[in-house]
Each structure stands twice: as structure tokens, then as C-alpha cells.
Amino acid sequence: MQAHDALYLSGMWRAARRPATADAIEVRNPATEEVIARVPAATAEDVDAAVSAARAALSGWAETPPAERGARIAALRDALAARRDEIAATVTAELGAPLSFSQTVHADLPIAVAGSYATIATEYAFEERVGNSRVWQEPIGVVGAITPWNYPLHQIVAKVAPALAAGCTVVLKPAENTPLVAQLFAEAVDAAGFPAGVFNLVTGYGSVAGEALAGHSGVDLVSFTGSTAVGRRIGATAGAAVKPVALELGGKSANVILPSADLSKAVKVGVANVMANSGQTCSAWTRMLVDADRYEEAVELAAAAVAKYVPGDPADAATRIGPVVSAAQRERVTGYIAEGVREGARLVAGGDQAPEGCERGWYVRPTVFADVTPEMTIAQEEIFGPVLSILKYDDADDAARIANDTVYGLSGAVWAGDEEEAVAFARRLETGQIHVNGGRFNPLAPFGGYKHSGVGRELGTHGLAEYLQTKSLQF
């Protein structure tokens, strides 16, 4: 798509009020390192204008009947679906995800989530009776949405669609690495015929536009997805202003393979889960837990499975793994790989050198570590790259202890020969989502974290509830 040298405010593309000192954001293709577009870096003044536009539109949109809001969201879903291939190509160009993954996940998933909120807006009970009371669910107001680059359109839709369904208006500040799909999203909103100001887009840097939005007195709720460090800061700002906040943060999820499980399937699916999107998935099962008796077999299976992930050009339909998003991300990931080696983990695949034949582009070798122990850095910290750590456990109690032994709790998996055995084990895990024997992602199921993985839930009716506040009338 053609990049806009403008922000989307009050239903129009407008030039940013860019001071002479501020540079535009250069968007680079991670596979070629080339600049593919430039977008405006919004200032605090621009954010102010966007928040004013959202506030001006709030009462009209909040009073729009939910079925009409749902109809607009259905039109948005249709506008996105009509541009599915362009969405996929855009995400491949700015994120580096393989084209087939961009089609089925980066495009189809957010289209499905937008569709789910068209239905939820129409069917949700915004009013109920409780004894002698009528209880109303009302929109919380102006939402500031701050999103990351790893699932760039999904994370936008997972915030904007429920906010609009609730009757809120929105200012979106997308990640600086992936603003192009955000601009495409704004075009789809425009095509769907929402009233001016209901949705506004400010591209910009986190330290300028993000900070201005997170701390703006005209924003009623900040919904943030990204690093725990920034989330903590946004939570503190919101707390001081007595405002609700929704935070989707990092993860270090455990993939617990119980002794009765189909080992080869569990390892194969586990490796695929970590390698998808070059490991840049907050809910990735980056710690594989295997019992001592089958540990070496699991390590061999994992090494064989990861060998099938040969880094290559993400625009090529046959490529299964592309680069990571940026030079900084590659530094971070290879730094963790070097740290794993330093701390004594056994490198069974990959390493911190660039993959063969990938001199250009921010590629990282798909990496598997064995003999990882729970206190190691690579078992505790979110790496956000194609790196799997395999840990050994003695018995079910030990497995549960290791699985719960990080500050995070976003996702996870349990495998067992008997589903009930897996379900009983799942109860012991301190985490927001658990996939039983490879159960697939459900875009209607609540998604969100325990512990430092976040506050609140996204998707489905639970995701809608984040954008509502409750009023009760007694009779």
C-alpha cells in the first residue's frame, strides 16, 4: 500500500504538526533492511488534537444503538476482508513474517475478530435486571490504544473493535516498526463509514506520542500491549490518575509434556508454536518441560523438528521462518542465545551467528537449548525470538513448580494420554490460557495474563467488558 504522510484525525488524513527537529519514522523491511516508507512521527500536540476529536465524537457514538454500531463494525470487517492479500503483503514487508503466515494469521485472524465484534455488539445484553435494579453497561469513554509490532493488525483489532462495539471512541498509537498496516486499518475504518472522530490514528514514537497518549487527561482508559517495562509505567500513570488500564504484557509460557503424552506430536507442535512469527509471540510456549525418562528422546525430536525451519525470504511462499523485526531485536535475541551458552545450557540447534546465506536482513538461527535449569536467564526472561528451552522434571509436582516459577503467566500447554489428566494438571498452572493436547487458538476465548503478564482480558465478551462501566438504578 501507499504510505500516508499524514495522521487520521476526525475522519480525514491530516499533516502532522511536525516541528522542524522531528524526523519522520522510517519503516524498514527486515528481510532487506531497506527503507520502504516514511510516516509522520506525531507530537504531543498531534495527540492532543486526536484526543479532542475522539472526545467530540464520544456522545454521538455512545448513543448510537448497539445494533447500528455492530453494522458499522461488520462493514469494517468487510473492508478488511476485501483487502486481505494487501494486509498480508504489508505485514510481510514491515514485520518479515512469511507470506503464508501473514495470510492465515496476520490477516485472517483480525478479520475474524472484527466479525466477532459485529455480532457481539448486536447481541450483548447492555442492560439487565437485578432484583429491584436496572443495571446498565455504559461505554467507558475515550480509549487510548497503544499496540506493538508482533501481531500488528490483530492487536489493533483486539482493542479497537471491542472499544467501538462498547460505544467508546479511540485514539490508536501503533508501533513504530509496523505503522503501514495501521494506516491500512484506518483506510478500512474510513471506508466503513464510521462518524468522524470515532477512530483516530497517530503514528509516532513511544517516548513522545505514546507517553502523551498514556498520560493525557482526556483519555478515560489506556489499553496497552507490549513490554512489561512500558506496561508498568503506563499502569503507574493510570493509577495516579485513578483510571482503569488494560495491559497485555510478556510471557514465558510452559509446554508441559506429561509422561503419558504422545511425545512426538507434543514436541513437533511445541517447536512449531515457538518458531511461528520468528518466535515473536507473547504467548509462545518457550519452555518445554519433559520428564527425565523421555528427556533425551524429546531433545532429539526437537532438534529434528527445528531443522525444518530454514530462514529465508518471507515473501517466498515456501519460507517457514523469516527474519526478526529489527536490528535491535536481533541484538536482543542473539544476546540471550550467548547468555544461554554462558550459563551452561547445551546448544542442540542454532546459535548466535547469522544463518548461512543470510548476510542481509535481520535473521536469527532457529535455536534449541537442552539442559536448561529453572534459574537460568533463558528460562526466566522473555527472549521474543526463535529460541526454545527444554527443561527436565522429576514428577508432576516438580513439573507444576517449574511451570509456575516465573513472573509471567500468559499462556501454556499441557499434553497427556488422557484429557482428564491434562485438565487436572491445568488447574495447577498460574496462567491465563492453556492449550490441552494441542487445542487450537479460539478468537472468542478470553486472552490475558496472570501475574506480570498483564491486567484484564481481550477477545470475545470478556474483551468487550474491559471497555464498559456499570451503572445501577434502584426502583
CB atoms near residue 234 (< 10 Å) = 23
Q: Helices in 144-255 by DSSP H: which ranges?
A: 152-166, 179-192, 211-214, 228-240
Cβ-based nearer residue to ligand NAD, 175 or 188 = 175
- Min dist CB 80 to ligand NAD, Å, is 20
Member of 285, 384, 425, 467 binding ligand NAD (CB under 6 A): 384
Subset of residues 109 to 128 that bind ligand NAD, contact rule: CB under 6 A: none
Based on the shown chain and the rule CB under 6 A, indicate whether residue 167 belongs to the binding site for ligand NAD: no
Cβ-based nearer residue to ligand NAD, 211 or 291 = 211
Question: 152-166 and 84-95 helices cross at what angle (nearest 10)?
Answer: 130
Phi and psi (nearest 5°) for 12? -140, 155
- Min dist CB 285 to ligand NAD, Å, is 14
Based on the shown chain and the rule CB under 6 A, indicate whether residue 337 belongs to the binding site for ligand NAD: no
Task: List all residues 6 or more positions away from 177 whose beta carbon is below 8 Å from its beta carbon.
Answer: 27, 28, 94, 95, 149, 325, 326
Q: H or E element: which one contains 77? A: helix 66-82
Which window, 33-41, 114-122, 170-178, 419-427, contacts ligand NAD (CB under 6 A)? 170-178
Binding residues with ligand NAD: total (CB under 6 A): 26
Active-site residues, by number, are 248, 282
Task: List all residues 6 or more positions away from 16 whose beta carbon is below 8 Å from its beta carbon.
Answer: 6, 7, 40, 41, 42, 43, 46
Which window, 91-99, 202-210, 363-371, 392-400, contacts ligand NAD (CB under 6 A)? 202-210
- Min dist CB 238 to ligand NAD, Å, is 11
Cβ-based nearer residue to ligand NAD, 199 or 415 = 199
- Min dist CB 449 to ligand NAD, Å, is 9
Which window, 115-123, 221-229, 303-311, 313-321, contacts ligand NAD (CB under 6 A)? 221-229
Based on the shown chain and the rule CB under 6 A, indicate whether residue 449 belongs to the binding site for ligand NAD: no
Given a contact cutoff of 8 angstroms between Cβ atoms, the answer to whether 362 and 329 are in contact is yes
153-170 b/e with 16+ CB inside 10 Å = b? bbbbbbbbbbbbbbbbbb
Subset of residues 135 to 164 that bind ligand NAD, contact rule: CB under 6 A: 146-150
Member of 226, 235, 340, 361 binding ligand NAD (CB under 6 A): 226
In angstroms, the Cα distances linking 173 to 145, 182, 410, 433 are 6, 9, 23, 27
Q: Helix and strand tally (H, E) in the chain?
A: 16, 20
Among 283, 143, 116, 159, CA closest to 213: 143
Given a contact cutoff of 8 angstroms between Cβ atoms, the answer to whether 412 and 403 are in contact is yes
Which window, 42-50, 226-234, 288-296, 316-324, contacts ligand NAD (CB under 6 A)? 226-234
The residue count of the chain comes to 475
Based on the shown chain and the rule CB under 6 A, indicate whether residue 207 belongs to the binding site for ligand NAD: yes
Q: How far apart are CA 364 and CA 335, in angstroms?
A: 11
Based on the shown chain and the rule CB under 6 A, indicate whether residue 248 belongs to the binding site for ligand NAD: yes
- Min dist CB 40 to ligand NAD, Å, is 14
Based on the shown chain and the rule CB under 6 A, indicate whether residue 433 belongs to the binding site for ligand NAD: no
- Min dist CB 328 to ligand NAD, Å, is 8
Based on the shown chain and the rule CB under 6 A, indicate whether residue 227 belongs to the binding site for ligand NAD: yes
Q: Which amino acid is at 75?
A: A
Which window, 225-233, 253-261, 350-358, 387-395, contacts ligand NAD (CB under 6 A)? 225-233
Based on the shown chain and the rule CB under 6 A, indicate whether residue 249 belongs to the binding site for ligand NAD: yes
Largest pairwise CA distance in the chain:
74
Member of 230, 258, 301, 414 binding ligand NAD (CB under 6 A): 230
Q: How far apart are CA 291 and CA 258, in angstroms?
A: 7
Cβ-based nearer residue to ligand NAD, 53 or 282 = 282
Q: How far apart are CA 401 and CA 430, in angstroms?
A: 10
Given a contact cutoff of 8 angstroms between Cβ atoms, the answer to whether 309 and 84 are in contact is no
Cβ-based nearer residue to ligand NAD, 150 or 273 = 150
Residue written as grid cell 506525531 = 42
Given a contact cutoff of 8 angstroms between Cβ atoms, the answer to whether 368 and 348 are in contact is yes
Based on the shown chain and the rule CB under 6 A, indicate whether residue 214 belongs to the binding site for ligand NAD: yes
CA terminus-to-terminus distance, the chain: 56
Q: How far apart are CA 249 and CA 228, in angstroms?
A: 5
- Min dist CB 234 to ligand NAD, Å, is 6
Which window, 28-36, 169-177, 308-316, 467-475, contacts ligand NAD (CB under 6 A)? 169-177
- Min dist CB 363 to ligand NAD, Å, is 16
**Residues making contact with ligand NAD (CB under 6 A):** 146-150, 173, 175-176, 206-207, 210-211, 214, 225-227, 230, 233-234, 248-250, 282, 332, 382, 384
